[in-house]
Amino acid sequence: MSWYRNTVWFVKGLREYTRGGYESASRHFNPADVEVDVAGRSFLVTGANSGIGKATAKEIARRGGTVHLVCRNKERAEVAKEEIVTETGNQNIFLHIVDISNPKEIWKFAEKFQNEHKLNVLINNAGCMVNNRELTEDGLEKNFATNTLGTYIMTTALLPLLEKAADARVITVSSGGMLVQKLNVSDLQSGNGPFDGTMVYAQNKRQQVVLTEQWAKAHRNIHFSVMHPGWADTPAVRSSMPDFYERMKNWLRTEVQGADTVLWLAVSAEATKLPSGLFFQDRQAVPTHLPLAYTHSPPEDEEKLMQMLEEFSQKFKSVSPG
């Protein structure tokens, strides 16, 4: 069945996820949806020093929003912040150095952030695709630590702040690659069998979709969404998927095109007219499963994922200051 999923997904990708797919879809966009003034609203973007994260942060800054850039590399982050301030004229750009693969750091950051700032919109964009199995200093598989546990902790830790906000939103940048994966809660850290970084990443992205659906049920005052940016020309794609990049580089979307739906979900009034918990592509809610792909998971597996992530997160919270 995996060959079927992969083939259908790739054919779908050639049609929809490339630059041509974006250009076709964008003919139906309403430009007014994102021509808005968001001055006075606060946005936090993880992984904001390059790629889709930086493009999103820049577009929000152009619209007057206060933007908190959460980045791992201080040097690259400072360059990105300076670029955003210079190009947009918006001085309300704040930088926070946090490694999203380090759960203790996230808890510590979130505790401090809640005491000092307000937050209307959280954009979980940080991610990684490590092609060989690596463990963090906490003994966590790096893709899982960043893409799944890091996203879970950042969101969970900031929920109390978001619950207080007007028109609060959480947007998570996933991937269409998740369509080839069924949720697997038996091996969250990919320790069994051969390690395939691309499939581990896709599994993490499936987990993000499940997280979004579960959060939407539990937190009715916040609008949750998860999205696929399409196949975009970003530093992460070039470094993590060099063969794919070489084959597809002439058809990849720009970073701004990849960020378009993130921006739309973050600032438009239209986005929150749709139900919370949906998966988006090019400003449209789309199915989270391919036809006949058998990737649906039983409710008990989805509940088990939430339970396991909560147990992981509390373990690391207990050793953080405060």
Q: Which residues are catalytic?
A: 201
Token pair, residue 140, equals: 């966590």
3-class DSSP assignment, residue 176: helix
Distance CA(3)–CA(5), nearest Å, equals 6
3-class DSSP assignment, residue 92: coil
Pair 312, 318: CB distance under 8 Å: no
Provide the pairing of β-strand 284-285 with 278-281: antiparallel
- Write the DSSP assignment of 236-287 as a string of letters: HHHHH-HHHHHHHTTTPBPHHHHHHHHHHHHH-TTGGGSPTTEEEETTEE--
Neighbours of 139 (CB within 10 A): 8
Provide the pairing of β-strand 42-46 with 284-285: unpaired
